[in-house]
């Protein structure tokens, strides 16, 4: 009787393990979740509300690491080193129409966006090699343009890396903010 019971519970346990293991192969939640930002802002919402007719201008897809009390710039993100501008996959920027960045015409399409961070300014890099992880595949020969942008100080700290677009005189700025730092990449339309 006890043997039978033991076998039964063992079998049940085995099934639970199999179920859990099968589940384990599916991806868990990332601690630096992916996010998207469109210009016009909230474009997908505007589209279903039928308040926009024309295609979007740009979107950025990036993972959002969290500060968690760590020093970010000059710490987690080392000065002078290439940074994926996010976490996991390198940040991707897509233009739905030709744009001008740093005086250079960028055809519509998907690009990888990197940055080299310094205390006073950042260098943004638009590169044509897409679907890449981190900075490991970086090849400067595939750069389209490099642009320097000054660092602005924020009064309030930002916990998760954040990106948004803002309207500017010449087009839009891609605004990147984390810790107490804000930097804008001007995109002329």
Partner 1 sequence: MKGYFKQLAFAFIGTIAFACNQDDQSGASKTLQPRLPDSITSQKAEPEPNMFASVDVSPMDMSYFPVDYPKLKMANIKVAPPVARVIYSRPQLARRPLFNGIIKYGEPWRLGANEASEIQFYQPVRIQGKKINPGRYTIYGIPQPETWTIVLNSNVDTWGLKQDTTRDVARFEIPVVTNGASLEYFTMVFEKAENGANLVIAWADVVARLPLEF
**Per-residue tokens: 63:** 């993972």
Interface with partner 1 (CB under 8 A), residue from 3, 27, 54, 141: 27
Is 177 an interacting residue with respect to partner 1 (CB under 8 A)? yes
Interface with partner 1 (CB under 8 A), residue from 1, 3, 51, 136: 136
Please compute Rg for the chain using Cα positions. Answer: 22
Interface with partner 1 (CB under 8 A), residue from 79, 133, 148, 167: 133
| Candidate ranges 100-108, 117-125, 127-135, 145-153; the one touching partner 1 (CB under 8 A) | 127-135
Query: Interface with partner 1 by CB under 8 A: which residues?
Result: 6, 9-10, 12-17, 19-38, 43-45, 47-48, 55-56, 59, 61, 64-66, 68, 70, 76, 84, 87-90, 131-134, 136-137, 156, 158-160, 162-164, 175, 177
């Amino acid at each position: 009787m006890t043997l039978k019971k033991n076998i039964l519970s063992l079998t049940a346990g085995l099934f639970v393990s199999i179920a859990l293991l099968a589940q384990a192969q599916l991806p868990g939640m990332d601690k630096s979740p992916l996010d998207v930002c469109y210009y016009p802002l909230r474009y997908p919402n505007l589209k279903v509300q039928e308040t926009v007719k024309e295609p979007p201008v740009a979107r950025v897809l990036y993972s959002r690491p969290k500060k968690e009390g760590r020093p970010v710039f000059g710490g987690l993100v080392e000065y002078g080193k290439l940074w994926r501008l996010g976490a996991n996959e390198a940040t991707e920027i897509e233009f739905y129409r030709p744009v001008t960045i740093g005086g250079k015409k960028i055809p519509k399409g998907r690009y990888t966006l990197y940055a080299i961070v310094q205390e006073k300014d950042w260098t943004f890099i638009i590169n044509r090699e897409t679907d890449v992880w981190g900075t490991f595949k970086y090849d400067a020969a595939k750069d389209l343009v490099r642009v320097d942008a000054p660092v602005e100080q924020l009064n309030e700290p930002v916990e998760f890396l954040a990106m948004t677009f803002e309207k500017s005189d010449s087009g839009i700025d891609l605004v990147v903010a984390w810790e107490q730092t804000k930097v804008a990449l001007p995109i002329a339309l």
